[in-house]
A = this chain, B = another copy of it.
Amino acid sequence: VNATDATIGEIGEGATLARIFPILPSSRRTILGPGDDCAIVTVPDGRVPVTTDLMIEGPDFRIGLSTGYDIGWKACATNLADIAAMGATPTALVVGLAAPAETTVRFVEDIARGFHDAATALAPGCGVVGGDLSNAPLVMLAVTALGEFDGVEPVTRSGASIGNVVAVAGQLGNAKRGLDILFDRAVAPDGTIDPVAVAEAWASHPVDVAAQLRPDPPIAAGRAAALAGATAMMDVSDGLVMDARRIATASGVAIDFDLSTVGDIDALTGGEDHAMLACFPVNAKLPAEFRVVGRVAPGEGVLVDGVPFDSRGGWDPFTDYSATSNQ
């Protein structure tokens, strides 16, 4: 078997792990890394934020639109964003990967490289400390991220107060536009993907396509927001309106967006932005990454320019997924 074309079924679990361990990013908080029943990570202040996400071939990515590298990058970046959204710094990841036996070792190595590069770029010092590899008829990633608060208080969704300003760090709407572009140009009605059209979409709309396939969430902005006194914060993964409604509900307030500063309807309802949405006291000095997009008001739910915005927005993996469209 040519090593570059070998499949994980041909070389088996142990040999595949031996190929990817050297590629994975390492964590500066590791006491014990991969290879035992558990990894062990230090948590200096005794409080550990933990988040887990599944990324499943079909609802969450399609091979051909995403490379293995993109899949690894996005799985890493989105979990880092959930840690950052608490005001914490990501320190360690564990990664479960299931894939068909006929998957090439090279594809799995590309996933590992995506993790390496995303962790290095977005959260230096955070690494993969353990994982699991198994056999499934489709590719699935299960990522769990840990972090540390390092002296700041966690920022939940429930602390927004009337009069707070509402601010966003990162992109809004680009990920949705990127998905629309890819589906319009590169996915046939039967779900077949045209690799030339994918390359052309990257070339013609690099910002939007990258926002969808290789997102760049503002990880450091999460801790900066906590230090600046943010009262509530979350990662915008299901669309700005849907996620803002969660802060509004948890905090018992309304959130009123100013459409001229948010942007457009894609920015309000498009999913997978992984921007940081935070509320701050009106006299707080906002970190440089944040721009004001609204205010916290009495009432409930989400308003746009003072008018209740009742469109659901966002995305549900059960009711919204179709194998042949981007909805």
Contacts and interface: CB of A to CB of B under 8 A. Distances in A.
Contacts of A131: 52
Contacts of A56: 98, 134-136
B43 A39 contact: no
A12 to B, nearest CB: 5
A3 to B, nearest CB: 17
A166 to B, nearest CB: 17
A50 B130 contact: yes
A234 interface: yes
A45 B46 CA distance: 7
Contact of A60 (B51, B134, B144): B134
A50 B95 CA distance: 11
A326 interface: no
A190 interface: no
A44 B154 CA distance: 17
B130 A51 contact: yes
Measured as residues with beta carbon below 8 angstroms from the partner, the interface class of chain A is: 35 or more
A271 B21 CA distance: 25
A87 B286 CA distance: 45
A47 B319 CA distance: 41
Contacts of A317: 13, 133-135
25 contacts: A8-B318, A9-B318, A12-B318, A31-B154, A32-B154, A35-B157, A37-B86, A37-B234, A38-B147, A39-B51, A40-B86, A40-B154, A50-B92, A50-B130, A53-B96, A54-B96, A54-B97, A54-B134, A54-B136, A56-B98, A56-B134, A58-B136, A134-B317, A135-B321, A136-B140
Contacts of A48: 40-43, 48, 146
Given A36-B234, A48-B48, A316 B12 contact: yes
A136 B138 contact: yes
A275 interface: no
Given A41-B47, A49-B38, A154-B40, A58 B130 contact: no
B135 A59 contact: yes
Nearest to A56: B136
Contacts of A51: 37-39, 94, 130
A59 B83 CA distance: 32
A226 to B, nearest CB: 12
A66 interface: no
Nearest to A317: B135
Given A52-B95, A53-B132, A134-B59, A82 B318 contact: no
A99 to B, nearest CB: 9
